[in-house]
Structure 1
Amino acid sequence: MATAKQNFYKWHRILGLTALIPVMMWTLSGLSHPFMSNWFRPTIARETYKPGQLFLKPTLSIQQVLDKNAITAFINFGLIGFNNKPYYQVLDKDSTRNYYSANTGEVLKDGDKLYATYLARYFTQDSTSKIKSITLQKTFDAHYQPINHLLPVWKIAFDRADGMDVYVETAQSRMGTFNNNIRKAMLTVFEQLHTWDFLEAIGGEQFRLVVLLIIVGIMSLSLGSGLTVYGFFWKKFKTISNNRKATKKTDTRFVHRFHRQLGLIVSFVMLTFIISGAFHLIIKLCNKPIEKQYSQLIERTNLSHSNLQLPVDSLKSIGLVNYADSTYYQVSNFNKDVSYFNTVSGRQLANGDKLYAAYLSSFYYTTNSPEQVYGKTEVSQIRQFDNEYGFINKRLPVQKIAYPNGENWYIETTTSQLATKVAGIDRAEGLSFIFLHKYFGMSWAGKNIRDVVSMLAALGVFVVSVFGFIAFIKNK
């Protein structure tokens, strides 16, 4: 029995030393997260674009503009207004976005750059600072991470003391994110210390996830062995403490005692971090990304009914979709309603947005064939973020397609994009992560209190680790 106890003690120290650096990296970066996401988060004048209806009154129809510029086929179009003028935003077959005056049909040189700059100045309400650079970004990086979802975007870097960068998606006239110098530095630190993206650069995403999962496993063994050691030796520890107090000897092993006592207190906190972190990594490792991309090609010959004759009073955006062997104008108003009008007859498609969402969902759905799931789903529009479809998904409004097996697929019909999918296991993982890892259970007390509690939890684990290392040094 004595040998077993000593072996547990030995393995606890080995496991603890192995996990020491990762634990310190994760707890320190966890301590920095509230500063990055809350207290030191930069502010911007406007986070959403609200176009006025005044400039969305073109003189020419999209058909007239297409004919004038000899465009016979294209991917989609939109109608935007800036510099007090309306423009047709046409996505060409080669995925370039060109701008044509809706009054004259003339092409606007570098229109996408100009519109991206206009939007960036709108969001920042900065009309005077110089633009240091503007680049089209088609991939995520350290400062524009996958959590922002939207691609491609224009990165507009302002020549300002705070180093403000604004990421803009011109297709939907919305902002991906914005960063100043402080946030950019914090993002870099968090990316390297917490998510360990440097491992992806070494061996790829799967390699990163496997390494992190192994380390989390070592942490769980360290925690388990520590609790076992305490259980084996607690009577001995108590006897030593009582004898020291009786003889009034100096406590030379106070570091060891604090490590044990504080470790016992924060063991539950560490367990919640381990469980939620491991669950998160396993799901990411098992889930295969859906790589299917929806595409369409609109033929000019299919556009008979003029877009200027649509029976709409409040037009926020307009586009085109191919559905059920027909082409439809897809019109969004300021109440977030999306309507569909046949481009030949002009007739409105009843429940068009739900029908199109179900069609797109069957396209992205990979578990069963569309015939096996068609007619067995419930479709409803989501206009606000919630616990399942959170703010990190960026896209609103979306249609939620609920399948009989409990899977929910969220489709942004205005871009024909899959926003996210949530299966039963995904839902469980998401809840465990936000409640056990990010402490959303404290949201009732306010974001500041929740952040303080999460920081105290991370700090407790950090201090226990440091005391454990000092105790190991003192034993040498």
Structure 2
Amino acid sequence: MATAKQNFYKWHRILGLIALIPVMMWTLSGLSHPFMSNWFRPTIARETYKPQQIVKPALSIRQVLDKNAISQFINFGLITFNNQAYYQVLGKDSITNYYSASSGDLLKDGDKQYAIYLARYFTQDNTSKVKSITMQKNFDARYQPINHLLPVWKVAFDRPDGMDVYVETLQSRMGTFNNNSRKVMLTIFEQLHTWEFLSDIGGEQFRIVVLLVIISVMLLSLLTGLTVYGLFWKKFKTATENRRRDDRTDTRFIHRYHRQLGLIVSFVMLTFIISGAFHLVVKMHNIKPQAKAYNQVINTKDLAVSNLQLPVDSMKTIGLIKYADSCYYQLSDFKKNVYYYNTSTGNQLADGDAIYANYLSDFYRAGEPPVKVKGKSTITQIRQFDNEYGFINKRLPVQKVAYPNGENWYIETTTSQLATKVAGIDRAEGLSFIFLHKYFGMSWAGKNIRDIVSMLAALGVFVVSAFGFSAFLKNK
């Protein structure tokens, strides 16, 4: 029995030493997260774009396309900036050109100009020079996958704070914004917490496997530590009583603090380990080839009905979609309602947004392994973020297509994009992560209190690890 106890103690020390550096990295970066996401988060004048009501243009989209000899294209929009109305035309080459809605003339570098206009709108900065503007088609350390939107224009201002604004021109919205301090914090968090450097070495799957191995070591260190405390607690208690009786100096106070604090924060550490491991396992499970994108090509000749004849008094956006071998004008108003009008007949498609969402959901599901589902899907428009469809998904409004097997597919119909898919395991992982890892259970007390509690939890794990390492050094 004595040998078994000593082996547990030995393995606890070995496992603790292996996990020491990762724990230090994760707790320190976890401590920095509230500063990055809340207290020291940079501010921007406006986070959403509120366009003016679109005034009926002089020319229809068909007239503009014919004037510029465009017979096929992907989609179009109608926007106003610099006190003029323009048609945004997304060509088959995925390049967006801008044409005056009054003359049909091409605006040179129109997409760049509009991106700068939006960046200045979001920052309310009309004086700083634009240092650079670049098209970004992939995520990177400064514009991470959590931002979802691609492609975007990165507009970098020549300002002391180094402000960069990422804008999606086709939807007139912002992806994110970073100043100098946030760029530093993003780099620290990416390298110390998510260990993206491992992806650079061996890819995403390699990164996840390494992290899972380390988390397993942490779990074994925790369990052996609790076992050691249970096996030796009588011995620890007797030693403490003898020291107090003999009035001797406590030379092993670091060991005692490590044991006592370790017992206190063991539950916290367990929640971090379980939620982190679950998050990584689901991430590994979801690694698969990129889902096929929905593509459409519109023939100019199909626009028999002019967009100027549509019976809509107030609209926010306009575009085109193809459905059931027909082409429809897709219009959204300022109340987030979406309407569909046939481009050949002008007839309205009743409940068109739900019908189109269901069509797109079937398209994206076709790329998944076949799953038999009994019963009909239900379709609900989502206009606000919630626990399942959170702020990180960026896109609103969306249609939620819910299947009887528990799968929920969120579709942004105005871009024909899949916003996200939530199945049983995704839902469970999401809830475990926000409640066990990010402490959303404390949201009732306010974001500041929630962040303080999460920081205290991370600090507790850090202190226990530091005491454990100090105790190891004293034993040498």
Scaled by the length of structure 1, the TM-score of the pair is: 0.98
1:332 and 2:332 aligned: yes
Q: Name the counterpart of 2:128.
A: 129
Q: Which structure 2 residues correspond to residues 57-136 of structure 1 after superposition, within 5 A?
A: 57-136=56-135
Rounded Cα–Cα distance in structure 2 between residues aligned with 1:341 and 1:177: 34
Q: Name the counterpart of 1:323.
A: 323
Rounded Cα–Cα distance in structure 1 between residues aligned with 2:202 and 2:147: 24
Distance 1:196 1:247, change over 3 A: same
| Conserved 8 A contact 1:382-1:399 | yes
Q: Could you give the per-residue CA deviations for residues 345-365 of structure 1, whole angstroms, max 9, x where no partner exists?
A: 000000100000000000001
Q: Could you give the per-residue CA deviations for residues 431-461 of structure 1, whole angstroms, max 9, x where no partner exists?
A: 0000000000000000000000000000000
Rounded Cα–Cα distance in structure 2 between residues aligned with 1:158 and 1:118: 12
Rounded Cα–Cα distance in structure 2 between residues aligned with 1:20 and 1:368: 41
Q: Which structure 2 residues correspond to residues 339-354 of structure 1 after superposition, within 5 A?
A: 339-354=339-354
| Conserved 8 A contact 2:379-2:402 | yes
Q: Name the counterpart of 1:427.
A: 427
What is the one-letter code of the residue matched to 2:354?
K
Rounded Cα–Cα distance in structure 2 between residues aligned with 1:473 and 1:288: 42
Unaligned 5+ segments in structure 2 are: none
What is the one-letter code of the residue matched to 2:39?
W
Q: Which structure 2 residues correspond to residues 287-326 of structure 1 after superposition, within 5 A?
A: 287-289=286-288, 290-326=290-326
Rounded Cα–Cα distance in structure 2 between residues aligned with 1:14 and 1:347: 73
Rounded Cα–Cα distance in structure 2 between residues aligned with 1:68 and 1:45: 39
What is the one-letter code of the residue matched to 1:255?
I
Q: Could you give the per-residue CA deviations for residues 378-412 of structure 1, whole angstroms, max 9, x where no partner exists?
A: 00100000000000000000000001100100000
| Conserved 8 A contact 1:57-1:86 | no
Rounded Cα–Cα distance in structure 2 between residues aligned with 1:471 and 1:31: 24
| Conserved 8 A contact 1:196-1:208 | yes
Q: Name the counterpart of 1:437.
A: 437
Shift of the alpha carbon at 1:314? 1.1
| Conserved 8 A contact 1:62-1:307 | yes
Q: Name the counterpart of 1:256.
A: 255
Rounded Cα–Cα distance in structure 2 between residues aligned with 1:56 and 1:436: 50
When the two structures are aligned, how many residues end up with a matched partner?
A: 474
Rounded Cα–Cα distance in structure 1 between residues aligned with 2:116 and 2:375: 45
Shift of the alpha carbon at 1:375? 6.9
Shift of the alpha carbon at 1:283? 0.2
Q: Name the counterpart of 1:141.
A: 140
SS at match of 1:155: strand
Rounded Cα–Cα distance in structure 2 between residues aligned with 1:374 and 1:25: 47
1:231 and 2:230 aligned: yes
| Conserved 8 A contact 1:76-1:320 | yes
Shift of the alpha carbon at 1:376? 1.4
Shift of the alpha carbon at 1:421? 0.4
Q: Could you give the per-residue CA deviations for residues 254-285 of structure 1, whole angstroms, max 9, x where no partner exists?
A: 00000000000000000000000000000000
1:411 and 2:384 aligned: no
Q: Which structure 2 residues correspond to residues 7-86 of structure 1 after superposition, within 5 A?
A: 7-53=7-53, 56-86=55-85
Shift of the alpha carbon at 1:367? 4.3
Shift of the alpha carbon at 1:313? 1.2
| Conserved 8 A contact 1:112-1:170 | yes
Rounded Cα–Cα distance in structure 2 between residues aligned with 1:80 and 1:374: 44
| Conserved 8 A contact 2:87-2:100 | yes
Q: Which runs of 4+ in 1 moved over 3 A?
A: 366-370, 372-375
| Conserved 8 A contact 1:58-1:102 | yes
SS at match of 1:20: helix
Rounded Cα–Cα distance in structure 2 between residues aligned with 1:472 and 1:339: 69
Q: Could you give the per-residue CA deviations for residues 7-53 of structure 1, whole angstroms, max 9, x where no partner exists?
A: 00000000000000000000000000000000000001100000011
What is the one-letter code of the residue matched to 2:332?
S
Shift of the alpha carbon at 1:288? 3.2
What is the one-letter code of the residue matched to 2:153?
W
| Conserved 8 A contact 2:373-2:405 | no
Rounded Cα–Cα distance in structure 2 between residues aligned with 1:433 and 1:111: 42
SS at match of 1:400: strand
1:152 and 2:151 aligned: yes
Identify which range, 318-327 or 288-297, moves more after superposition. Answer: 288-297
What is the one-letter code of the residue matched to 2:12?
H
Rounded Cα–Cα distance in structure 2 between residues aligned with 1:288 and 1:305: 44
Rounded Cα–Cα distance in structure 1 between residues aligned with 2:334 and 2:347: 21
Rounded Cα–Cα distance in structure 2 between residues aligned with 1:373 and 1:240: 64
What is the one-letter code of the residue matched to 2:66?
D
1:4 and 2:1 aligned: no
The alignment yields a C-alpha RMSD, in angstroms, of 1.1
Rounded Cα–Cα distance in structure 1 between residues aligned with 2:92 and 2:433: 42
What is the one-letter code of the residue matched to 1:31?
L
Rounded Cα–Cα distance in structure 2 between residues aligned with 1:102 and 1:73: 19
1:462 and 2:462 aligned: yes
Shift of the alpha carbon at 1:291? 1.7
What is the one-letter code of the residue matched to 1:64?
Q
Shift of the alpha carbon at 1:57? 2.4
SS at match of 1:460: helix
Rounded Cα–Cα distance in structure 2 between residues aligned with 1:374 and 1:248: 75
Q: Could you give the per-residue CA deviations for residues 310-343 of structure 1, whole angstroms, max 9, x where no partner exists?
A: 0111110000000011000000000000000000
| Conserved 8 A contact 2:383-2:398 | yes
| Conserved 8 A contact 2:374-2:404 | no
Rounded Cα–Cα distance in structure 2 between residues aligned with 1:422 and 1:402: 9
SS at match of 1:336: coil
SS at match of 2:154: strand
Scaled by the length of structure 2, the TM-score of the pair is: 0.98
SS at match of 1:296: coil
SS at match of 2:208: helix
SS at match of 2:111: helix
SS at match of 1:432: helix
Rounded Cα–Cα distance in structure 2 between residues aligned with 1:432 and 1:339: 38
Rounded Cα–Cα distance in structure 2 between residues aligned with 1:159 and 1:315: 36
Shift of the alpha carbon at 1:64? 0.2
1:191 and 2:190 aligned: yes
| Conserved 8 A contact 1:46-1:124 | yes
Q: Name the counterpart of 2:180.
A: 181
Shift of the alpha carbon at 1:58? 0.9
Rounded Cα–Cα distance in structure 2 between residues aligned with 1:424 and 1:95: 36
| Conserved 8 A contact 1:154-1:167 | yes
